[in-house]
Amino acid sequence: MAFDDNGRSAGAFQTSIYVVLVISFGTVLHPELKAFYRRGHGDMKNTVSAIDAALATFSLAALRLLCSSCASDGPRPNIPFWQKLRWAAPPGIFVFLVITLSTWANFLSYKALAMLGPCELIFVWIFARFLQEERQVPLCRDLPAVILTALGSVLFSIAEVARAGPTSTSASAWAIVASLLCRACQALMTVSLRSCCVNVGRVGVLEITLLKLLVTSLLCLPYALLTEGLEPWWILADKEFWADSTSAFLLLGSIFITTGFQWATVGTNAGLRSPLVAVLLGTLQPLTAVALVLAFSNSPFCQALGLKRRDSPLEIAGICCLILGLLLGGLCSLRQLRVTSDLRDQTLEFLDHRAAAGVSAGREH
């Protein structure tokens, strides 16, 4: 019993480290890329996203080979590759859309992208109603959080558009639209991952994540070539680019952060899985992004990130509503998850229930 308790404590500590890394990497990535764009490299933003995704895929493939050579577990069921790819393709497509839209929104306004992060709660609440187990949750449970978040997003958007000058009104409006679309795709990815997690026991978290990222990379590369052509590749191959140490550091930093984020996400899902991961990351990551913008707005970094000081009461009211809605939504979700004392046992019960439902449906057909 003591050995089991010690092993469980060590596993919980390791998982908590993964959660911290996911939140840290996910929060730092966009301001780091924004600083890179503002150094005159905005014309290669999609190419950089494709490079980041491809190298993260290669890193996870190497990690899977390492884990498979060191694994001591029993053999998994022999599932065809195309079947596993079919499970991982929907979240992979939504990840591509998230990357594309977040890159566009970040290029236009890092502030809008970060501040509207809590809006994912609204879209998750809407899209999750299509899941059978979510329909059993009372409709009004998350309604106060959704209303607060929606009110905050409206107030913030009005303040941003009104504050922009005549020449930048269009850019601010498009940044808001891109940010909201990004959060909608993020919510669709979260919902699709919940269904994908049913098959995790048969395939493995690392393999599902690798296939998901493979689909994303195969979409990012042709998109970058269609939108930006080969010019960014010639710039990256030129010694003059690498002579600028700051730009080179920011580019390599984005690759490191993206790879670290994907690697830490695998560890987090392996330790907790759905639905707790969605609750933790869906609450803490947008909250830290908002806090980072608030901190940077009054710091020497505001110019590098294109941030301005907060002087509008409407904007401040919107930010307060967004934060309150996000915290309220996270508390409601955690309260719902507190059905059993052991979160890991709850996750396994969740997966077993979905798997059993799938078997029963298959027998009926």
28-56 pLDDT per residue, tens:
999 999 999 988 899 999 999 999 999 98
For 192, the token pair is 């699709």
For 268, the token pair is 């987090």
Taking the C-alpha atoms of residue 189 and residue 90, their distance in angstroms, rounded to an integer, is 8
- Single-letter amino acid, residue 196: C
Taking the C-alpha atoms of residue 123 and residue 63, their distance in angstroms, rounded to an integer, is 33
Q: Which of 188-197, 247-256, 287-296 has the highest mean pLDDT?
A: 247-256
304-349 pLDDT per residue, tens:
677 776 668 888 899 899 999 888 887 876 666 554 334 444 444 4
Taking the C-alpha atoms of residue 113 and residue 28, their distance in angstroms, rounded to an integer, is 13
Q: Residue range 145-151: average pLDDT?
A: 91
Taking the C-alpha atoms of residue 25 and residue 264, their distance in angstroms, rounded to an integer, is 9
Non-local (6+) Cβ contacts of 272 within 8 A are: 15, 19, 280, 343, 344, 347
Taking the C-alpha atoms of residue 357 and residue 63, their distance in angstroms, rounded to an integer, is 33
- The pLDDT score that the predictor gives to residue 350 is 45
Mean pLDDT of the chain: 78
Select the more confidently predicted residue: 240 or 140.
240
- The pLDDT score that the predictor gives to residue 75 is 55
Contact 307, 296 (CB under 8 A): yes
Burial of 114 (0-12, 13-18, 19+ CB in 10 A): buried
**pLDDT confidence tier of residue 139, bands split at 50, 70 and 90:** low
Spatial CA neighbour of 29 closest among 106, 116, 117: 106
Burial of 42 (0-12, 13-18, 19+ CB in 10 A): middle
- The pLDDT score that the predictor gives to residue 354 is 45
- Single-letter amino acid, residue 286: P
In this model, does residue 108 exceed pLDDT 50? yes
In this model, does residue 3 exceed pLDDT 50? no
What DSSP designation does 197 have?
Answer: G
For 267, the token pair is 């560890």
Place of tokens 């899209």: 127
220-269 pLDDT per residue, tens:
999 999 999 999 999 999 989 999 999 999 999 999 998 888 777 766 76
Taking the C-alpha atoms of residue 45 and residue 36, their distance in angstroms, rounded to an integer, is 9
For 322, the token pair is 């967004």
Max Cα–Cα distance, the chain, nearest Å: 68
Select the more confidently predicted residue: 330 or 172.
172
Taking the C-alpha atoms of residue 19 and residue 336, their distance in angstroms, rounded to an integer, is 20
- Whether the pTM exceeds 0.75: the reply is yes
Q: At what angle do helices 45-70 and 205-228 cross, to 10 degrees?
A: 160
Q: How far apart are the first and last CA of the chain?
A: 44
Least confident of 68-77, 122-131, 291-300: 68-77
- Helix (H) / strand (E) containing 77: none
- The pLDDT score that the predictor gives to residue 174 is 92
Torsion of CA 38, 42, 46, 48, to 10 degrees: -50
